[in-house]
């Protein structure tokens, strides 16, 4: 074999090895891609198709590409859309106010008890979602300790109540999704090296300045992730509104549930579901871009 033939064989082998290396990431993505295609993309396409159908459950549905279903859906549940995002936004803000100090305390002051404190944060998730919400129904009952205490402190009137109000729904959503806010923030805070904060103090920064200039910006990815993990499921929640609210304060999830399972109006329910997803995307994409953490939705 000549030197040129040997060099040619080496080049061919190198090219094949390079192609194999390039193929490895795609092969690793293949299982997840198939999972998303089968259990997300295909059902989503089917959902869009259902949302454009016309007919009734008794007579059957036909594909007529009736785009008016979306207009009918918004006319039916426009106020419920607004209420859903109002409740979800309020619960997300409240969860952030509670979760950030909690995560900060665990990350920087937890010491050898960090793991125990994290377990306590996750402990409620050992109880089913429905039971946790029913527990809040008992806690906020008119004759319960919370309401009686607030009446004694004259925070609410003697005939006032919390249950079956928007405040009860927001409280339930906040409690049920608090861990989704706490854990991402904790992870971001845990990654901050103490020397960075010490350097800020060495440069004569006050504690509040060090927090504002160092800790808060470095924990921003956790805040963004936590708000998304809270806002997205909270906007589609219907259990808290059903158990802790009243028929006049239902969320869009309640209307979707009612249309799918009780009225059996599949096109309208599908149009509401897809519209909810689009509205959530329209909110979170500008939010992530404005926060400078585009990699979270990349």
Q: What digits encode the pLDDT tens for the residues 142-183?
A: 888 889 998 888 888 888 889 999 999 999 999 999 999 999
Q: Is 64 helix (H, G, I), strand (E, B) or coil?
A: coil
Contacts 24+ apart (CB under 8 A), 259-264: 264/57
In this model, does residue 296 exceed pLDDT 50? no
Alpha-carbon span 228 to 232, nearest angstrom: 6
pLDDT computed for residue 298 by the predictor: 43
CA dihedral of 142, 144, 149, 151, whole degrees rounded to 10: 10
Per-residue pLDDT averaged across 37-62, rounded?
A: 91
Alpha-carbon span 142 to 247, nearest angstrom: 18
Confidence of residue 3 (pLDDT cuts 50, 70, 90): low
pLDDT (tens digit per residue) in 168-177:
999 999 999 9
Confidence of residue 135 (pLDDT cuts 50, 70, 90): very high
In this model, does residue 277 exceed pLDDT 70? yes
Instruction: Give the CA angle between residues 270, 275, 277 to the nearest 5°.
Output: 100
pLDDT computed for residue 93 by the predictor: 97
Q: Which residues contact 280 (CB under 8 A, 6 or more apart)?
A: 231, 232, 235
pLDDT computed for residue 158 by the predictor: 85
In this model, does residue 76 exceed pLDDT 90? no
Per-residue pLDDT averaged across 46-72, rounded?
A: 90
Q: Which residues pair with 60 in a beta bridge?
A: 56
Intra-chain end-to-end CA distance of the chain, in Å: 50
Per-residue pLDDT averaged across 83-91, rounded?
A: 96
DSSP letter, residue 63:
E
Take residue 234 and report the two structure tokens written for it.
Answer: 């909270």
pLDDT (tens digit per residue) in 175-233:
999 999 999 999 999 999 888 888 888 888 888 999 999 999 999 999 999 999 999 99
Take residue 294 and report the two structure tokens written for it.
Answer: 């585009």
Take residue 87 and report the two structure tokens written for it.
Answer: 């409740």
In this model, does residue 2 exceed pLDDT 70? no
Choice between 166 and 14, residue whose per-residue pLDDT is larger? 166
Residue matched to tokens 């033939």:
5
């Amino acid at each position: 074999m000549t030197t040129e033939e040997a060099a040619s064989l080496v080049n061919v082998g190198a090219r094949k090895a390079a192609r194999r290396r390039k193929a490895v990431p795609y092969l690793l993505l293949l299982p997840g891609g198939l999972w998303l295609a089968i259990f997300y993309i295909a059902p989503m396409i089917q959902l869009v198709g259902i949302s454009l159908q016309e007919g009734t459950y008794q007579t059957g549905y036909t594909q007529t590409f009736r785009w008016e279903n979306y207009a009918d859906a918004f006319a039916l549940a426009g106020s419920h859309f607004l209420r859903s995002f109002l409740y979800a936004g309020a619960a997300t803000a409240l969860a952030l106010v509670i979760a950030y100090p909690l995560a900060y305390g665990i990350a920087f002051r937890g010491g050898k008890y960090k793991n125990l404190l994290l377990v306590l944060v996750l402990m409620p998730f050992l109880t089913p979602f429905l039971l946790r919400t029913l527990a809040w129904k008992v806690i906020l009952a008119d004759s319960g300790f919370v309401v009686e205490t607030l009446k004694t402190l004259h925070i609410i009137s003697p005939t006032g109540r919390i249950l079956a109000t928007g405040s009860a729904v927001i409280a339930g959503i906040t409690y049920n999704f608090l861990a989704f806010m706490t854990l991402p923030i904790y992870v971001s805070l845990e990654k901050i090296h103490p020397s960075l904060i010490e350097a800020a103090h060495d440069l004569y920064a006050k504690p509040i300045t060090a927090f504002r200039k160092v800790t808060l910006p470095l924990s921003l990815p956790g805040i963004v992730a936590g708000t998304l993990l809270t806002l997205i499921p909270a906007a589609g929640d219907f259990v808290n509104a059903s158990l802790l609210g009243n028929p006049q304060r239902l969320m869009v999830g309640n209307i979707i549930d009612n249309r799918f399972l009780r009225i059996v109006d599949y096109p309208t329910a599908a149009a509401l579901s897809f519209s909810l997803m689009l509205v959530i995307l329209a909110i979170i994409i500008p939010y992530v871009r404005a926060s400078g953490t585009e990699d979270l939705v990349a």
